[in-house]
Amino acid sequence: MQPEQIKKERAEDSAKLENRATLLVKCPDQPGIVSVLSTFLFRHQANIIESSRYSSNPENGTFFIRLEFTCEKLSSKAAEMEREFKLIADDYKMDYDFHYLSKRQRSAIYVSKELHCLLELLWEWQNGDLETDIAVVISNHEDAREIVESFGIPFYYLPANKDIRKEVERQQIALMKEYEVDVLILARYMQILTPDFVNHFESRIINIHHSFLPAFIGANPYDRAYKRGVKLIGATSHYVTNDLDEGPIIEQDVERVDHRDDVATLKKIGRQIERRVLTKAVKWHLEKRIIVEGNKTIVFH
Amino acid sequence: MQPEQIKKERAEDSAKLENRATLLVKCPDQPGIVSVLSTFLFRHQANIIESSRYSSNPENGTFFIRLEFTCEKLSSKAAEMEREFKLIADDYKMDYDFHYLSKRQRSAIYVSKELHCLLELLWEWQNGDLETDIAVVISNHEDAREIVESFGIPFYYLPANKDIRKEVERQQIALMKEYEVDVLILARYMQILTPDFVNHFESRIINIHHSFLPAFIGANPYDRAYKRGVKLIGATSHYVTNDLDEGPIIEQDVERVDHRDDVATLKKIGRQIERRVLTKAVKWHLEKRIIVEGNKTIVFH
Amino acid sequence: MQPEQIKKERAEDSAKLENRATLLVKCPDQPGIVSVLSTFLFRHQANIIESSRYSSNPENGTFFIRLEFTCEKLSSKAAEMEREFKLIADDYKMDYDFHYLSKRQRSAIYVSKELHCLLELLWEWQNGDLETDIAVVISNHEDAREIVESFGIPFYYLPANKDIRKEVERQQIALMKEYEVDVLILARYMQILTPDFVNHFESRIINIHHSFLPAFIGANPYDRAYKRGVKLIGATSHYVTNDLDEGPIIEQDVERVDHRDDVATLKKIGRQIERRVLTKAVKWHLEKRIIVEGNKTIVFH
Amino acid sequence: MQPEQIKKERAEDSAKLENRATLLVKCPDQPGIVSVLSTFLFRHQANIIESSRYSSNPENGTFFIRLEFTCEKLSSKAAEMEREFKLIADDYKMDYDFHYLSKRQRSAIYVSKELHCLLELLWEWQNGDLETDIAVVISNHEDAREIVESFGIPFYYLPANKDIRKEVERQQIALMKEYEVDVLILARYMQILTPDFVNHFESRIINIHHSFLPAFIGANPYDRAYKRGVKLIGATSHYVTNDLDEGPIIEQDVERVDHRDDVATLKKIGRQIERRVLTKAVKWHLEKRIIVEGNKTIVFH
């Protein structure tokens, strides 16, 4: 497919969702919250089509809910709804987030020399299964340029190493701003980010780590898995925080291996796990299915 | 543990749940249902602790919801709540079912010569993980008597074959009545039931079939799986209807096998699958997590 | 990567395997076979690096073995080895097959409008994980042309329907001959093949069926899985025979689904299963890990 | 079943295996080993029925093989075979181990208050699926006595704590000697063993750790898994060495969990994983399918 064709199809996908929205709410638990929320939506002629909730503790805990609803002429009513909702939110001490599905989130993919995760994301996006606009791809190598540009997506080569990190991150932040990026996807980017950078995009940087965390934090997890003789290897997608590989876990998966599998084979098997784990995590983020709470995630899938 | 001790512990488990209930609702989908339900519960000072919903179709479909709630002094308020709820239910054309968790459902286990599913259920029950009173065990063989009676559970030997089926089923129905049985669990009972018997306990007979349905309906599924050379074998738990192995599926699972596995090995591996699939299905039934809709199940787990 | 670059890398992969071969043997079981085979290889200074065997039955059954070995200057010794081996094979009534890994098998991929399986194969091939030369791609639609030709692989559009089947198959057979194709991969080709065509390529046509066979043989398996309310969906890769979807199964896998998943979602989940199941089956075929025995496969992975 | 009946059946199982043996070999890799071994067995009219091999490295590595064979009148020929084999073993610098399947290994199960792993082992043993004589059960609590003694198995209560460890271990070693125990199974024994004790039973103590090692080494893994917010929990069976939870891993498995699962639920799910992982590991040990190499295992399953 030509780049223009893909973009046209993705835009049509968005248009179909023009009356659809999600509402994420977090507040102190108390009786009556669901009643208030559902009555509010009902009054605005919104029809709930999906609803998931979680209480951290039956008594005295925190309440979380994700509502997905449709509403005729949503774009013209949204401002009024949000204004009115603010009053309820104040009453109940709610953190909340309205998201309109026709307004696709914009993503940046960061990649290094290993391209399998990038390719999986591009493929899912081209296929219409990833509801995002891939705004830009950033890499510290040139390997991905050709494939990325063939999709009509801007590609930036920015070298990365300890000495120039601050300067490179300044450029990256400028690019994120220029391209109005909502979410950063580290698709095997393999670079340490500074606290400044991480704080700038809190709970908006998704990483894939090539181990079953918290096992094998840090470098060379497949080599260490091989050396330890584990019988399953895994991958973990998580939000990036300033503790290396310690951020809130979004998704994990594993595959069986055995004594015959050398490090190269572990990497090959691992690539399959990484591809699907990162893609799932990104989809859930884009669909506003994830709430970060402390160092954990609530995932309403 | 002595039988008396187990029963005492199970009774204590129930007592702890005295203010807890579930409400299952099915009705034509329309805006405002969640609002009505949650407002009703709020008015009765009930606190929703779990809620799962499903619409068969965003427009013009059927709406299903399972609410689990706590409510102070529930036993003294239940009658009034139910009376009042009837009015709402009439308005919205709801099918519904209140279930009070302190009132444990009573189960009968039907078994033949293969005891692994029975033993798994007994073990989970003894352990406090199966919220039921096992009222009686019925078998067409004597093999299970010793273990069943050692738990203080009544055991009845009723021979079974085509010629005496009607008479035996009459006795079985009488026993189900005598022991006030809510749910019948066919733990590898391996006998065909008559339509009369099945209709008598609609959506209350849970079977485990030793294949991944709809593959290998009927007799000797492991032999046929071996002959077909499948690379995964499975088990399926379903409600019994008058179409053999065609009832609503509750749960399924599989395990990997290969060319080296003969029929005896398939059976051995299969026993592990059957144990966990049946146990899951029974738990979900007991926790009122299942709604049968047509020939399918909605399982809110 | 440019097509020339990929081909160059793949050729280098082959060159590295110039002293490596596999030997598949099938014969009536009897004591001493392993002794004869291993002594034969030892005499020729071949070093066994992998060996897998299977006896259909300890007594009076059939014996199967796959040996992978390295041997210095293999290409110059192969003819003599094969000549000598023929004597042993005659003695022990062996069917056997020597395969030299540096001589990559040539494959044809048949595809229709759904491209996910084709793309997975192309990606694995480009990546160096699929030891084959993709000689040609055949399709009854034009959708795949652009991507296929971008890899420098010839693409043929051959319309397909019942009325012209014989004529089209004649052209296909001619193409298979022209491109010296060893194995035909039906990557969601979705066309019935005639017995003539199937017999022409016995045990060399690999299909992916989008269900967990033998469940949902034939058309529209995802619709039927949805209607039946299964809790797992699957895909099956098998050799094509003249009984539709009844050929020897090579590999199967499943994923969990639930009542919320509509047919479109089942198809989306299914695509992931199909991709990995077909790719595994093709790899095992290319690595000579599969022996077809009756209507079953022995897979030495 | 009565204890006598179970023992009778298990003894009959053994008798059926009187002509069956395994031979495990480890030696420096070199051409011709398989030829030598298979020729040796052929000369003794032994028929190989299963054979698995592994080379740590195609060149200059270590070679491992497990052969399972049948041989008429094995008991009368075994001494001569072993004598003769010693000469080969010396030539090729082989470590080796003949094991006659009719001579069941004797096991001791160590348990604390959590009985699920013990019960699974007892059930598999009673069922004929665990080829061992359970010689004795040791516990630092009285909970298991009743069930163990009901199977006719001796039960010893030996209190355990840091202060009396040395003395208790002396008693345990004496009991292992008295009951001629071959393998020690720590079925959630939850006690630290001294280096002396561990060295006394090198590669013969099998533990189940309730996490996916190397994640959550040490105490309270489920609490820590909950706190970390992992999306899968696991269990690991390994040989005990003097580095806590760092011994060679035999088998691991995982189950999916989510944010709703509290620590009690994780433990419940974990019990199912622990049961099946430990049982598999024990079976493979009993069937001589495991070779310990450095801090890893080669498992020929």
Q: What pLDDT digit, counting tens, does each position of C185-240 carry? A: 999 998 999 999 999 999 999 999 999 999 999 999 999 999 999 999 999 999 99
Using the predicted structure, report yes or no on whether residue D195 has a pLDDT greater than 70: yes
Nearest CA in chain D to B260: D50
Cross-chain residue pair C58–D49, CB shorter than 8 Å? yes
A33 neighbors A113 (Cβ within 8 angstroms):
no
**Residue with the two structure tokens 């302190």:** B102
Instruction: Mutation target for D interface from B119, B120, B130, B262: give the one with most D CBs within 10 A.
Output: B119
Cross-chain residue pair D35–C32, CB shorter than 8 Å? no
Name the pLDDT band for C10 (thresholds 50, 70, 90). confident
D265 in reach of chain B (CB within 8 A):
no
Q: Among A214, A295, A296, whose Cβ lies nearest the Cβ of D259?
A: A296
Low-confidence ranges of chain B (pLDDT < 50): none
Neighbour tally for C244: CB within 10 Å: 14
Nearest CA in chain A to B69: A58
CA distance A87 to chain C (A): 34
pLDDT tens digit sequence for A9-53:
888 888 889 999 999 999 999 889 999 999 999 999 999 999 999
Q: What DSSP state is assigned to residue A49?
A: E
Percent of chain C residues topping a pLDDT of 90: 87
What's the rounded mean pLDDT across residues A246-260? 97
Interface partners of chain B (CB pairs < 8 Å, 3 or more) are: A, C, D
* Angle (CA) C206 C209 C210, round 5°: 150
pLDDT at residue A161, rounded to an integer: 85
What's the rounded mean pLDDT across residues D53-77? 91
pLDDT at residue C249, rounded to an integer: 98
pLDDT at residue C1, rounded to an integer: 64
CA distance B249 to chain C (A): 6
Residues A206 and A240: their CA atoms lie apart, in Å, by 6
Using the predicted structure, report yes or no on whether residue C58 has a pLDDT greater than 70: no
Q: Among A119, A146, A276, whose Cβ lies nearest the Cβ of C272?
A: A276
- Judged on CB neighbours under 10 Å (0-12, 13-18, 19+), B148 is buried
D299 in reach of chain A (CB within 8 A):
yes
Task: Residue C272: list chain A partners with CB under 8 A.
Answer: 276
Long-range contacts of C89-97 (CB under 8 A, 24+ apart): C89/C25, C89/C27, C92/C27, C92/C28, C92/C30, C92/C33, C92/C36, C93/C27, C93/C28, C94/C25, C94/C26, C94/C27, C95/C25, C95/C26, C95/C27, C96/C23, C96/C24, C96/C25, C96/C26, C97/C22, C97/C23, C97/C24, C97/C288
Percent of chain D residues topping a pLDDT of 90: 87
Name the pLDDT band for C13 (thresholds 50, 70, 90). confident
**Residue with the two structure tokens 């007892």:** D122
- Closest alpha carbon to C70 in C13, C19, C14, C131: C19
The interface pTM score, or ipTM, of the predicted complex is 0.94
Cross-chain residue pair D123–B119, CB shorter than 8 Å? yes
CA distance A255 to chain B (A): 13
pLDDT tens digit sequence for D93-124:
999 999 999 999 999 999 999 999 999 999 99
The residue from A143, A245, A253, A262 that is catalytic is A245
Residues present in chain B in total: 301
**Per-window interface: B 136-175 vs D, CB < 8 A:** 146
D177 in reach of chain A (CB within 8 A):
no
C188 neighbors C112 (Cβ within 8 angstroms):
yes
Nearest CA in chain D to B273: D276
**Per-window interface: C 230-259 vs B, CB < 8 A:** 230-232, 234, 248-254, 258-259
Task: Residue D1: list chain B partners with CB under 8 A.
Answer: 146
Does a cis peptide bond (omega within 30 degrees of 0) precede residue D214? yes
D254 or D4, higher pLDDT: D254
The residue from B143, B163, B223, B245 that is catalytic is B245
Residues C237 and D104: their CA atoms lie apart, in Å, by 41
CATH superfamily name and code, B105-299 = Formyl transferase, N-terminal domain (3.40.50.170)
For residue B180 the two structure tokens come to 């006030």
pLDDT tens digit sequence for A152-203:
999 999 998 888 999 999 999 999 999 999 999 999 998 999 999 999 999 9
Residues A69 and A47: their CA atoms lie apart, in Å, by 5
Instruction: Mutation target for B interface from C203, C213, C257, C259: give the one with most B CBs within 10 A.
Output: C259
Cross-chain residue pair B34–A31, CB shorter than 8 Å? no
Residues C50 and C129: their CA atoms lie apart, in Å, by 19
Residues B154 and B148: their CA atoms lie apart, in Å, by 7
Cross-chain residue pair D35–C38, CB shorter than 8 Å? yes
Using the predicted structure, report yes or no on whether residue D63 has a pLDDT greater than 70: yes
**How many inter-chain contacts (A to B, CB under 8 Å) are there?**
49
pLDDT at residue A1, rounded to an integer: 65
Using the predicted structure, report yes or no on whether residue D140 has a pLDDT greater than 80: yes
Interface partners of chain D (CB pairs < 8 Å, 3 or more) are: A, B, C
Residues B67 and B52: their CA atoms lie apart, in Å, by 7
Q: What is the rounded average pLDDT for all residues in chain A?
A: 95
Helix or strand holding residue C12 (H, E)? helix C3-16
What's the rounded mean pLDDT across residues C172-181? 98
Domain ranges for chain A, please list them.
Answer: 18-100, 105-299
pLDDT at residue B58, rounded to an integer: 66
A127 neighbors A156 (Cβ within 8 angstroms):
no
C287 neighbors C275 (Cβ within 8 angstroms):
no
pLDDT tens digit sequence for A84-119:
999 999 999 999 999 999 999 999 999 999 999 999
Task: Residue C58: list chain D partners with CB under 8 A.
Answer: 47, 49, 70
Cross-chain residue pair D146–B1, CB shorter than 8 Å? yes
For residue C7 the two structure tokens come to 């081909």
Instruction: Mutation target for D interface from A56, A226, A230, A284: give the one with most D CBs within 10 A.
Output: A230
Buried b (16+ CB within 10 A) or exposed e, C5-23: ebeeebeeeeeebebbbbb
Q: What is the rounded average pLDDT for all residues in chain D?
A: 95
Strand partners, D183: D107
CATH 3.40.50.300 fits D18-100, yes or no: no
CA distance B93 to chain C (A): 23
The answer to whether C18-100 and C105-299 have equal CATH topology is no
Q: What DSSP state is assigned to residue A75?
A: H
D268 in reach of chain B (CB within 8 A):
yes
Q: Is C163 a catalytic residue?
A: no
* Helix/strand/coil percent split, chain C, to 5: 40, 30, 35
Using the predicted structure, report yes or no on whether residue A2 has a pLDDT greater than 80: no
Query: Rounded to the nearest 5°, which phi and psi values hold at A266?
Result: -60, -40
CA distance D94 to chain A (A): 20
Nearest CA in chain B to D268: B129
Q: Among A42, A51, A58, whose Cβ lies nearest the Cβ of B32?
A: A42
Residues D144 and D168: their CA atoms lie apart, in Å, by 18
Nearest CA in chain D to C38: D35
**How many inter-chain contacts (B to C, CB under 8 Å) are there?**
72
Question: Which residues, at least 6 apart from A208, have a Cβ–Cβ distance to it below 8 Å?
Answer: A117, A186, A187, A188, A235, A236, A237, A274, A277, A278, A281
Q: D112: helix, coil or strand?
A: coil
Cross-chain residue pair A1–C146, CB shorter than 8 Å? yes
Residues B235 and C110: their CA atoms lie apart, in Å, by 35
B214 in reach of chain C (CB within 8 A):
yes
Name the pLDDT band for D1 (thresholds 50, 70, 90). low
Q: Among C39, C45, C70, whose Cβ lies nearest the Cβ of D39?
A: C39
For residue B230 the two structure tokens come to 């499948």
Nearest CA in chain C to B301: C258
